Structures are given as structure tokens and as C-alpha cells.
Amino acid sequence: MEDNYDDIIGLEHHVSATRPRMTMEERAAQFAPFAALTGFEEAIDNVAHTTVQQQDEECENE
């Protein structure tokens, strides 16, 4: 039985003749909109702010 990639495993990596090679930053930017934790930083800031307010109120009531 032939392995799934035996027909392509030895081929050279394709290099486009018409498009310039992307920098690592350009390639990474393509995936930025798909960040799994979009909005996470804001949520953490909101919880931290609420926690500080609650602690301040507790200190004032003592």
C-alpha cells in the first residue's frame, strides 16, 4: 500500500514567478483577524476595574 504523500514528498517547494515573496510580518498579518482571544484584554480590564471598585467600597465601609 502506498503512503498518502509518496507522490509529492520529493517535489521542490513552489515559488511563484509572478508574485513577490511575503515577509514574515505580512504572512502573520493575514491571520490576525482570526485571533482566538479578540476582546480578551478588554474583558480582563473590565473585571479588574470592577474588582478594584468593590475593594475600595469595602475599605470605605470598614
What confidence tens digit (pLDDT) does each residue in 47-59 have?
999 999 999 888 8
Instruction: Identify the DSSP state of 12.
Output: P
Closest CA to 60 of 52, 45, 46, 50: 52
- Taking the C-alpha atoms of residue 2 and residue 4, their distance in angstroms, rounded to an integer, is 6
| CA angle in degrees (0–180, nearest 5) for 49-53-57 | 170
Mapped to the 3 state alphabet, what secondary structure does 8-21 carry? Answer: CCCCCCCCCCCCCC
pLDDT of residue 35: 64
Q: Give the containing element (helix H, strand E) for 34.
A: none
Instruction: Kindly report the pTM of this predicted structure.
Output: 0.39
